[in-house]
Amino acid sequence: MYLFTSESVSEGHPDKVADQISDAVLDELLAFDPSSKVACETMVTTGQVVVAGEVKSDAWADLQTVARDAIAHIGYTKADYKFDSESCGIFSAIHEQSADINRGVERVDAENQGAGDQGMMFGYANNETDNYMPLPLSLAHDLMITLSRIRRERKVMTYLRPDAKSQVTVKYDDNDHAVAIDTIVISTQHDEFISAAEAGSQEKADEQMLARIREDVINILIPRTIEERVHTPEIKALFENGDITYHVNPTGKFVIGGPNGDTGLTGRKIIVDTYGGRGAHGGGAFSGKDPSKVDRSAAYAARHIAKNMVAAGVADEMLVQLSYAIGVAEPISIYVNTYGKKHVALSDGEIAEKIKQLFDLRPYAIEQRLKLRNPIYVETARYGHMGHNPRMKHKVFRLGNEVKEMDVELFTWEKLDYVEKIKEAFGL
């Protein structure tokens, strides 16, 4: 037996606020110029937003409007939060992309565009959940998604504020099968909804607020998460053992939060963004980067490969690593690890060779296959970049007097569109 833990954070967590602003800027530029090259970094703190980075584009973005709209959508709309969409200061330090980088990316023949940077990217999948994601992270995301819906509905738990974190510890047997949920941690920002005058003292008010939040988490959040987000009887059964340890707002109080409580930076939640520590990570962040940066596009491609390979039955679990050199189109290496759980009479190295034959992994080919030159990114900056259902969304962008409407496909790297090709290639 062993325990494994993963965490998630809400869309109101300061690092995620920064991620969403960066990706909102990226989406705005891609909407009006799909060839935009963008590396946008954001910092948020009490009453302030700083947007910096490099851009090469024929479009421009109204950073004030884009940032304020993103912040309002998250829910920071009250002066009490000491960070709100209408009053926060927004400082821009955007400049043009380095010509030295650009010369390595753009080519006369677009198909031969080089990678926007060097590095290694990982994709991972296993079959313990219906979305081929690690169970601890999947549940941690589910809790945060449900908590956000409850907050936005304002029917119950009306004291909720946007900042929150979750953590789920799952107990596994020695064959890597989940047997129980051991611990759930929920920390959620909240209003000061019981006053010292009402309770008799501030200490008593804090105790009563904590007791109410704990009761609501266990009796409202957990059952609704199971009902709306958990779809398999095997996983539902893990909640029924009655021995789950709950830690709710372990410090006792969480009123000061969001960018007022902690400075947020783009790219500081890369493990939440990927596999919760279960699969590897190459270290590169995603948000704010256009798909010429293989930090992002190749990580999506690697997930697409791993998910389709596991869904096709090649292995129960798979890690795929891709590596690139800046300015070079073809990947330097493809590595596969099936953790001894493959169902084909091939070595992991031989599986990697077949992947090379099945998937064109040049940056331009990845962009085209996964439709990455569309404005699809702000949705990825909430509750992980992997594991969501691919879907169509109608979007409207406004830039001065120009309005652009389009239907875009989100999370294309989650599509199981290569399963039959893989089965044929592997004789499955």
Chain length of the chain: 428
DSSP E strands in 106-236: the ranges are 119-126, 160-172, 178-190
Residues 250 and 89: their CA atoms lie apart, in Å, by 32
> How does strand 245-248 pair with strand 178-190?
parallel
Angle (CA) 279-237-391 rounded to 5° is: 55
Say whether 68 counts as a known binding-site residue: no
Q: What DSSP state is assigned to residue 133?
A: S
**Alpha helices, H only, 262-373:** 270-273, 294-312, 348-358, 363-369
**Residue 293 marked as a ligand binder:** yes
Q: Check whether 165 is labelled as a binding-site residue.
A: yes
373 among annotated binding-site residues? no
Is 164 annotated as a binding-site member? Answer: yes
C-beta separation of 68 from 408 below 8 A: no
Per DSSP, what are the bridge partners of residue 410?
Answer: 391
Q: ∠ CA(305), CA(306), CA(311), 5° rounding?
A: 100
Dihedral sign for Cα atoms in the order 170, 175, 176, 177: negative
Q: Residue 83's closest CA among 149, 152, 162, 195? A: 162
Q: Which amino acid is at 406?
A: M
Q: Is 84 annotated as a binding residue?
A: no
Residue with tokens 């990947």: 331
54 labeled part of a ligand binding site: yes
Q: Quick check: helix, strand or coil at residue 102? A: helix
Amino acid at 65: T
Annotated binding-site residue? 16? no
Residue 342 sits at the vertex; the CA angle it makes with 339 and 346, to the nearest 5 degrees, is 110
Distances (CA, A) of 295 to 47, 116, 121, 242, 288: 31, 8, 6, 42, 11
Annotated binding residue at 254?
A: yes
> Is position 215 annotated in a ligand binding site?
no
Is 285 assigned to a binding site?
A: yes
Tokens (6 digits) for 285 = 């962040």
Determine which helix (DSSP H) or strand (DSSP E) holds 55, and give its type and residue range.
Answer: strand 48-56
**Cα→Cα distances 137→4, 15, 38, 79, 104, Å:** 10, 18, 29, 33, 37
**Element spanning 392, H or E:** strand 391-399
Q: Hey, how many other C-beta atoms are within 10 angstroms of the C-beta on 167?
A: 20
Q: Is 64 annotated as a binding residue?
A: no
Known binding residues:
13, 15, 41, 54, 97, 163-165, 253-254, 262, 268-269, 285, 289, 293
Known binding residues for Mg(2+):
15
Known binding residues for ATP:
13, 163-165, 253-254, 262, 268-269, 285, 289
Known binding residues for K(+):
41
Known binding residues for L-methionine:
54, 97, 262, 293
